[in-house]
Structure 1
Amino acid sequence: MGGSILCLGEAVIDFIPVRAEGGAAYRPCLGGSPYNVARALGRLDVPTEYGCAVSTDLFGDQFVEGLTQSRVGQRFLRRLDAPSTLGFVSLEQAEPAYAFFDQGAADRICRDMPSGSALAGVGTLHFGSIALIREPAASAYETLFLREARGPRLISFDPNIRASHVRDEAAYRARLERLLHNADIIKISGADLDWLLPGHAHAEAARNWLGHGAKLVVITHGKAGVSGWTQDSYAHAEALSVEVVDTVGAGDSFMAGLLAGLHEGGCLTRETLISLSPQILHEALAYGQCVASQTCTRRGADSPWREEISALQAPPITFPDHRA
């Protein structure tokens, strides 16, 4: 099934540390994992929608403006008279660490999910991150996820785990297991996988999820590149060397690049995902790496536009076996 990609989940104002006269300071940037994926997809000319609730406050206005500028559809977006979620970022570790302030926030209290009929024209639903931790929205997203799983639309899932935000670890782990066993496309970082399944080889985890019905599993390894598996194919793409400003949003940009590459080649169906060749899989992974690497050269989750990627002579997205 073709159609647009609907990204569902939180929108967060990321306060990024910057140097300032007189000491440390923070710069507010638009963020939130599903929001980042939606904006990155829109900038790559993929038909994209964003679904959640954002505040009626000044930050909510900025979220809407960011979607509009990135050509992201908003028919599933709601505005609520509630505050925006704020996230303060630490860049002292290998991966960014976050402190969230979200009590009563618009994206956290959102429980209204689209009906099946409302999803007409949507081909892929993308879920992930703290939207699946914070109640009551988390349960509403899980219900939608499981309702649509194995139906006509693909389910894409990046857990993007924020362990410090988890209060009931046993319940959260059980939820992740349910979702991972019902997703079509799974993308997960090596760090998240090690938290979720400590001591498990990454290839073993990928084979397990493929055995439960996933069609594509992708594991990112930071500077060590990214690996992808289907039932019959495996590919690895190296990380690209760039001058890194910060890595905020890099994983989300990779996710968008991967989906954009698959969409460009007409591969966002279960049938085509199953039959991806190693070469086609490598092209999609490499394209995702190119998008992510350019995000790392900018402050915050500021992903590149398609024209910028083309100017870099990024790996061609040809997918000759799957074009109409």
Structure 2
Amino acid sequence: MSRIEVMGESLVDVVDGTAHPGGSPLNVAVGLARLGHEVHFSTEFGRDTYGNQIAEHLQNAGVKVIAGSVTERSTSVAQVEMDELSNAHYTFDIHQQIPAIQADDATELLHTGSIAAWIEPSGQCIVDAFKNASVHSLRSYDPNLRPDLVQEKSSAIERIELLMSLSNIVKLSDVDGQWLYPELEAWEVLEHIASLGPGLVVMTQGADGCLALTSGRRIDFEASSTTLVDTIGAGDAFMSGLLYGVLANPELALALRGGTTADSKDVEVALRHALTSAALTVAQAGANPPWIEDFSLAINNYASQH
């Protein structure tokens, strides 16, 4: 079991009038905790009904909320509309003033992503944590963009690229890549991000699986077969599964942390963990990442068939 620090937003996704705890960093924190890790979460939510729902959700998963995360302000909300293909579209009312954390030598992983990483005041708090993190801590980042909230694109990209440069692992979606770098093809996006410093860059492509770049080597993976209910939280479940796969292999984690060449086979195993986690999540309604029992069963079933 690894000690993990996650920083970022908490909110509720309101779908057809029903509220579900969400927010990309919260989903990753819950996903990693359900997979057996010790997770500490720096965030903000209120003492209102929505906030109580978030608190119960985190507690049930075993996530430890950092002191100062519960405030007197109202909990952030995302209104979700589903299209005819079961894809989610969001409208936000969000604010995040998160407590600072220190990723010391006991922290094996520091993760952040999405909205709180580039809005203020939470954004600077996250940058400071990444800059001051222990050399023994892996750092991972998922831009998980929400373009409707971007007031100035150049400033947002500057912050996003700063966090990419401070990270060992970056995961983004193909939609993120198109918004950030519309002039580049998918592999060119990964190559540009890799040039900023991370040792592993991964792009999810929905039903088409994912692309990964590590030490100049390209990996193209097909998605796991599944039944689609909705895509809410799919990218976050991919992220928690990927990080689980990296942490499960000390040699891979060491290579990425130290900037040395990672074994392609080790990366492929971690990607299979990521795709399995995403497949299990889209088969259920809402952001509902798998528990370790279902996840392990799916991984073992895949291994026995290949």
TM-score under structure 1 length normalisation: 0.85
State how far apart, in whole Å, the 1-side matches of 2:102 and 2:6 are: 15
Q: Which residue of 1 is the match for residue 157 of structure 2?
A: 173
SS of alignment partner, residue 50 of structure 2: helix
Q: Which residue of 2 is the match for residue 11 of structure 1?
A: 10
Q: CA deviation at 1:124?
A: 1.2
Q: CA deviation at 1:34?
A: 0.2
Gaps of 5+ in 2: none
- Does the 8 Å CA contact 1:287/1:314 hold for their aligned counterparts? no
Q: CA deviation at 1:315?
A: 4.5
Matched, 1:222 2:206: yes
Q: CA deviation at 1:236?
A: 2.4
Question: Which moved further from structure 2: 159-168 or 209-218?
Answer: 209-218
Distance 1:9 1:265, change over 3 A: same
- Does the 8 Å CA contact 2:215/2:262 hold for their aligned counterparts? no
TM-score under structure 2 length normalisation: 0.90
Matched, 1:81 2:72: yes
State how far apart, in whole Å, the 2-side matches of 1:274 and 1:236 are: 21
SS of alignment partner, residue 17 of structure 2: strand
Matched, 1:268 2:256: no
State how far apart, in whole Å, the 1-side matches of 2:217 and 2:67 are: 35
CA RMSD of aligned residues (A): 2.1
- Does the 8 Å CA contact 2:234/2:282 hold for their aligned counterparts? yes
SS of alignment partner, residue 302 of structure 1: coil
State how far apart, in whole Å, the 1-side matches of 2:217 and 2:73 are: 47
Q: CA deviation at 1:46?
A: 2.1
Alignment of 1:120-131 (within 5 A): 120-131=105-116
State how far apart, in whole Å, the 1-side matches of 2:24 and 2:140 are: 13
Matched, 1:52 2:43: yes
Alignment of 1:208-219 (within 5 A): 208-219=192-203
State how far apart, in whole Å, the 2-side matches of 1:228 and 1:262 are: 14
SS of alignment partner, residue 268 of structure 1: helix
State how far apart, in whole Å, the 2-side matches of 1:144 and 1:262 are: 21
Q: Which residue of 2 is the match for residue 321 of structure 1?
A: none
State how far apart, in whole Å, the 1-side matches of 2:289 and 2:194 are: 30
Q: Which residue of 2 is the match for residue 96 of structure 1?
A: 88
Matched, 1:304 2:290: yes
Q: CA deviation at 1:76?
A: 5.1
Alignment of 1:1-324 (within 5 A): 3-16=2-15, 25-75=16-66, 78-92=69-83, 95-102=87-94, 105=95, 108-110=96-98, 112-115=99-102, 119-148=104-133, 151-266=135-250, 267-269=252-254, 270=256, 274-312=260-298, 313-315=300-302
Give the aligned residue type for 1:296: V
Summarize deviations over 1:206-231 as a string: whole Å, max 9, x none: 22332332111111111111121111
State how far apart, in whole Å, the 2-side matches of 1:44 and 1:314 are: 17
SS of alignment partner, residue 44 of structure 2: strand
State how far apart, in whole Å, the 2-side matches of 1:253 and 1:15 are: 19
SS of alignment partner, residue 122 of structure 1: coil
Number of aligned residues:
299
SS of alignment partner, residue 154 of structure 2: helix
Q: Which runs of 4+ in 1 moved over 6 A?
A: none
State how far apart, in whole Å, the 2-side matches of 1:127 and 1:314 are: 31
State how far apart, in whole Å, the 1-side matches of 2:68 and 2:224 are: 35
- Does the 8 Å CA contact 2:105/2:136 hold for their aligned counterparts? no
